[in-house]
Amino acid sequence: MAENTRVAIVTGGSRGIGRQTALRLAADGYAIVVVYVGKQAEAETVVKEITTAGGRAIAVQADVAEEADVTAVFDAAEASFGGVDVVVNAAGIMVLAPIAEYDLDTLDRVHRVNIRGAFVVSQQAARRVRNGGSIINFSTSVIGLGLPGYAAYVASKGAVEAMTMVIAREMRGRDITVNAVAPGPTATSFFFDGKDQATIDHMAKQPPLERLGTPEDAAEVVAFLAGPGRWINGQVVRANGGIV
């Protein structure tokens, strides 16, 4: 592998926005570490697609909220490819219900993955990303919409946004950018789960562009932040077609 090859870790890389981000960064020449928690076959499919196209990729299983697992991901990236330049925190879960009815064990599970997971991955990234790299978290544009049923999810992503701002400042002197991408409604199984067609159609009409976002839309924003968008730092990019 060429010494100047850049390396990206993508959590939640087996499907949805994470999958498309892994493929997009691979197309830009990155070696990719696809991190998955349970979808091994899907993660291996992403790896195969990258390697068939001439790229380099590996899949690593990890619970993003477990320090030992995440440390092992970074170890694998360094052992396989020589280092880490970009970390994309795309892993997350969403369980919707009105706050009056919300199960608190489910709340703990959502926050464990979305807040603790983002924190643990960012902690390793802050320690180990090479100078000149990028850390890119994922939030949600639902924070600005305030839709009923989303309280637990937006609370977790609000924490990610706040964390992102702090980490950007903590990276002073290392030429490492830290940003968050906040997609609007995006055509993935993550979004479709639990929604009827009328709800999906209504949300698709909300942006002035009158469609749902695609995983490719979000991946393009990540690729820009990881590559040429070096002067964007400590920001939340609301990639939502103009909803808010």
Give the residue carrying structure tokens 């949300």.
203
36 is catalytic: no
Q: Residue 175 phi/psi, 5° resolution?
A: 55, 40
| Catalytic residue of the set 30, 36, 150, 153 | 153
Distance of alpha carbon 236 from alpha carbon 185, whole angstroms = 16
Terminus-to-terminus CA distance in the chain, angstroms? 43
Using a CB cutoff of 8 Å and minimum separation of 24, what contacts does 205-212 make? 206/243, 207/240, 207/241, 207/242, 207/243, 208/241, 208/242, 209/241, 209/242, 211/241, 212/185, 212/186, 212/187
> Which of the residues are catalytic?
153
